[in-house]
Structure 1
Amino acid sequence: MRLLRVELSRFFSRRAVAMLLLAAALLTALVAGTTIWGTRPVDAAEQARAEARVQAITSSPEYKRDLANCQESPEDLFGPGADAADCRRLLAPSTADVVGRVPLALADEVDDSGIAVIVIVTVLMIVAGTTFAGADWASGSMSNQMLFEPRRQRVWWAKAGAALVGTGVAAAVLIAAFWVALYLVADARGIGTGAAVQTDIRWMVARGVSLAALAGFGGYALTMLLRHTVGTLAVLFVYAAGGEALISLLPVERSGQYSPAENVFAWIRDGGRVFDSSIDCPVSSAGCDQTFQLTLLHGGAYLAVLVLLVTVVSAVLFQRRDIP
Structure 2
Amino acid sequence: MSLFKAEFRRLLKRRFVRYMALVGLLVLVAVAVGTFVTNHKIGPAQVAAAERRAEQEYQQSVQWATQEKQQCEKDKAAGRTDDKRYPPDCAEMMPPPREAFEARWFLPSTFDFREQFEPMITAWAAILALVAFAVGASFIGAEWNSGGMMNLLLWRPQRLKVLLTKLGALLTGLLALAVVSGGLWAAAFWAIGNLRGTTAKTTAGVWESFALTGLRGIAVVVVAGIVGFALASLGRHTALALGGALGIMVVGQFGLGIVLRMAGVKFVEAWLLPTYLLAWMQKKVILEDWESCQASFSGECKPQTMEVVWQDGGTLLAVAVVLTLGAAMWMMRRRDVA
Question: Normalised by the shorter chain, which TM-score bucket?
Answer: 0.7 to 0.9
Q: CA deviation at 1:169?
A: 1.9
The answer to whether the aligner puts 1:57 opposite 2:57 as a matched pair is yes
Distance of 1:46 and 1:283 partners within structure 2: 44
Distance of 2:4 and 2:301 partners within structure 1: 57
Q: CA deviation at 1:246?
A: 5.0
The answer to whether the aligner puts 1:128 opposite 2:139 as a matched pair is no
Q: TM-score, normalised by structure 1?
A: 0.82
Q: TM-score, normalised by structure 2?
A: 0.79
Q: CA deviation at 1:57?
A: 2.9
CA contact (8 A) 2:39 2:110 kept: yes
CA contact (8 A) 1:129 1:167 kept: no
Distance of 1:191 and 1:123 partners within structure 2: 30
Instruction: Give, as a single letter, the amino acid of the residue that structure 1 aligns with 2:17.
Output: V
Residue in 2 aligned with 1:267?
280
CA contact (8 A) 1:39 1:101 kept: yes
Q: CA deviation at 1:257?
A: 3.3
Q: Classify 1:55/1:253 alpha carbon distance in 2 versus 1 (closer, same or farther; 3 Å).
A: closer
Distance of 1:272 and 1:159 partners within structure 2: 36
Counting only pairs closer than 5 Å after superposition, residues 206-217 of structure 1 correspond to structure 2 as 206-217=215-226
- Deviations for 1:91-127, whole angstroms, at most 9, x for unmatched residues? x252x4334312433322313x332222111111111
Among candidates 294, 304, 312, match of residue 318 of structure 2: 304
What secondary structure, in the 3-state scheme, does the structure 2 residue paired with 1:4 have?
Answer: helix
Q: Classify 1:209/1:47 alpha carbon distance in 2 versus 1 (closer, same or farther; 3 Å).
A: same
Q: Classify 1:56/1:284 alpha carbon distance in 2 versus 1 (closer, same or farther; 3 Å).
A: closer
- What is the aligned residue count? 304
Residue in 1 aligned with 2:147?
140
Residue in 2 aligned with 1:186?
193
What secondary structure, in the 3-state scheme, does the structure 1 residue paired with 2:210 have?
Answer: helix
Distance of 1:225 and 1:8 partners within structure 2: 21
What secondary structure, in the 3-state scheme, does the structure 1 residue paired with 2:162 have?
Answer: helix
What secondary structure, in the 3-state scheme, does the structure 2 residue paired with 1:101 have?
Answer: coil
% identical aligned pairs: 25
Please say which structure displays the higher CA radius of gyration.
Answer: 2
Q: CA deviation at 1:41?
A: 1.2
| Bigger mean CA deviation after superposition, 5-14 or 199-208 | 5-14
Counting only pairs closer than 5 Å after superposition, residues 273-284 of structure 1 correspond to structure 2 as 273-275=286-288, 281=292
Distance of 2:205 and 2:289 partners within structure 1: 31
Q: CA deviation at 1:42?
A: 4.7
The answer to whether the aligner puts 1:104 opposite 2:112 as a matched pair is yes
| Bigger mean CA deviation after superposition, 144-153 or 100-109 | 100-109
CA contact (8 A) 1:247 1:256 kept: no
Counting only pairs closer than 5 Å after superposition, residues 143-222 of structure 1 correspond to structure 2 as 143-187=150-194, 191-192=199-200, 193-222=202-231
CA RMSD for the aligned pairs? 3.1
CA contact (8 A) 1:3 1:158 kept: yes
Instruction: Give, as a single letter, the amino acid of the residue that structure 2 aligns with 1:222.
Output: L
Residue in 2 aligned with 1:87?
97
Q: Classify 1:64/1:267 alpha carbon distance in 2 versus 1 (closer, same or farther; 3 Å).
A: same
Q: CA deviation at 1:307?
A: 1.8
Instruction: Give, as a single letter, the amino acid of the residue that structure 2 aligns with 1:262.
Output: T
Instruction: Give, as a single letter, the amino acid of the residue that structure 2 aligns with 1:198.
Output: W
CA contact (8 A) 2:286 2:305 kept: yes
What secondary structure, in the 3-state scheme, does the structure 2 residue paired with 1:150 have?
Answer: coil
Q: CA deviation at 1:243?
A: 1.0
Distance of 2:4 and 2:62 partners within structure 1: 70
CA contact (8 A) 2:295 2:302 kept: no
Q: Classify 1:67/1:173 alpha carbon distance in 2 versus 1 (closer, same or farther; 3 Å).
A: farther
CA contact (8 A) 1:168 1:210 kept: no
Q: CA deviation at 1:304?
A: 1.1
Q: Classify 1:225/1:38 alpha carbon distance in 2 versus 1 (closer, same or farther; 3 Å).
A: same
What secondary structure, in the 3-state scheme, does the structure 2 residue paired with 1:110 have?
Answer: helix
What secondary structure, in the 3-state scheme, does the structure 2 residue paired with 1:100 have?
Answer: coil
Residue in 1 aligned with 2:4?
4
Q: CA deviation at 1:39?
A: 2.2
| Bigger mean CA deviation after superposition, 289-298 or 44-53 | 44-53
Residue in 1 aligned with 2:306?
292
CA contact (8 A) 2:42 2:108 kept: no
Distance of 2:323 and 2:66 partners within structure 1: 63
Q: CA deviation at 1:44?
A: 7.8
What secondary structure, in the 3-state scheme, does the structure 2 residue paired with 1:41 have?
Answer: coil
Instruction: Give, as a single letter, the amino acid of the residue that structure 2 aligns with 1:35.
Output: T
Q: Classify 1:194/1:63 alpha carbon distance in 2 versus 1 (closer, same or farther; 3 Å).
A: farther
What secondary structure, in the 3-state scheme, does the structure 2 residue paired with 1:162 have?
Answer: helix
Q: Classify 1:156/1:66 alpha carbon distance in 2 versus 1 (closer, same or farther; 3 Å).
A: farther
Long gaps (5+) in structure 2: 69-93
- Deviations for 1:159-191, whole angstroms, at most 9, x for unmatched residues? 111222221221222123111221244346663
Instruction: Give, as a single letter, the amino acid of the residue that structure 1 aligns with 2:34.
Output: T
